[in-house]
């Protein structure tokens, strides 16, 4: 599949909307049977993130699957007016803040943590072989996202002139996406989910990665050569945890 992603003139790039006001930036999300400011007694969680980040979306889907309540706060990690160093020195979202103000960051680490908070709907298998298979697929999906995000930033970053952009870099990143999709298509089976017969974090990660490709790279047309992936994306994406976060 040839890559048709091309660098863009920064003048043609749509800027993100202004950062939300203090009143707008807090969204209360009810995912459990009822909303309460406490969770399992004294634990209360806040999730810092954006509505378009696929990494944040993975965590939101996982929280929905685990039926855990939390407070969702919109944060613009790109804005210098929103210091996050005291929460995540990397300045990235998602970032999960616990009641004691301890922070957990990186979507994979957050999901691994919240999976321990409830025995319902386990997302990461206990069995060593199954666990490794699920985590490998999770890592592969993370790599797809990392490469796609890197390619998009190279193509659209408004602070760079067109002659400063590297088409070779964009092609290299999208090549990683293509080879990863080929690997998934070759290794998935006819089972109901990506890593077997049980829903897991692998499904969350892969569906969010594929949805991101559809969202940011509609010209990529990956579904032409990956019908099984497209079928699972659509089927798994119908679970109640996915549409509210899209």
pTM of the model as a whole: 0.84
The span from the CA of 117 to the CA of 74, in Å, is 23
Cα–Cα distance between 105 and 116 in angstroms, integer?
16
Q: Which of 89, 114, 139 is the endpoint of a domain?
A: 114
- Are 106 and 140 members of one domain? no
User: pLDDT digit of tens for each residue in the chain (246 aa)?
Assistant: 444 455 444 333 332 334 444 444 455 444 433 333 333 333 589 999 999 999 999 999 999 999 999 999 998 877 755 567 788 889 899 999 998 889 999 999 999 999 999 998 999 999 999 999 999 999 999 999 999 999 999 999 988 888 999 999 999 999 999 999 999 999 998 999 999 999 999 999 999 999 999 999 999 999 999 999 999 999 999 999 999 998
Q: 132 and 91 in one domain?
A: no
CA distance 221 to 202: 22
Rounded distance, CA 171 to CA 158, Å?
19
| Peptide bond between residue 94 and the one before it cis (omega within 30 degrees of 0) | yes
Q: Is the domain of 161 the same as that of 235?
A: yes
Last residue of a domain, one of 69, 91, 114: 114
Q: Which structural domain, as residue segments, surrounds residue 167?
A: 123-245
Q: Is the dihedral of CA 48, 53, 59, 61 positive or negative?
A: positive
């Amino acid at each position: 599949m040839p890559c048709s992603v091309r660098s863009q003139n920064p003048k043609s790039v749509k800027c993100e909307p202004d950062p939300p006001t203090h009143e707008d930036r807090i969204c209360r999300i009810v995912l459990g049977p009822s909303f309460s400011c406490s969770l399992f007694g004294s634990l209360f969680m806040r999730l810092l993130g954006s509505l378009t980040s696929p990494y944040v979306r993975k965590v939101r889907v996982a929280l929905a699957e685990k039926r855990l309540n939390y407070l969702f706060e919109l944060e613009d990690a790109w804005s210098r007016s929103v210091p996050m160093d005291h929460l995540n020195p990397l300045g990235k979202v998602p970032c999960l803040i616990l009641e004691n103000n301890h922070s957990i960051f990186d979507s994979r680490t957050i999901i691994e943590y919240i999976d321990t908070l409830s025995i319902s709907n386990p997302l990461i298998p206990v069995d060593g072989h199954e666990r490794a298979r699920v985590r490998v697929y999770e890592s592969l999906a993370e790599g797809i996202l990392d490469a796609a995000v890197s390619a998009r930033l190279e193509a659209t970053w408004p602070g760079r002139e067109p002659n400063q952009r590297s088409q070779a870099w964009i092609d290299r990143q999208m090549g990683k996406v293509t080879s990863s999709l080929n690997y998934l298509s070759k290794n998935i089976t006819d089972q109901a989910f990506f890593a077997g017969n049980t829903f897991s974090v692998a499904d969350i990660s892969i569906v969010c990665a594929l949805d991101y490709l559809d969202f940011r790279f509609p010209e990529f047309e990956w579904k032409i050569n990956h019908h099984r992936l497209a079928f699972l994306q659509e089927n798994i994406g119908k679970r109640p945890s996915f549409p509210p976060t899209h």
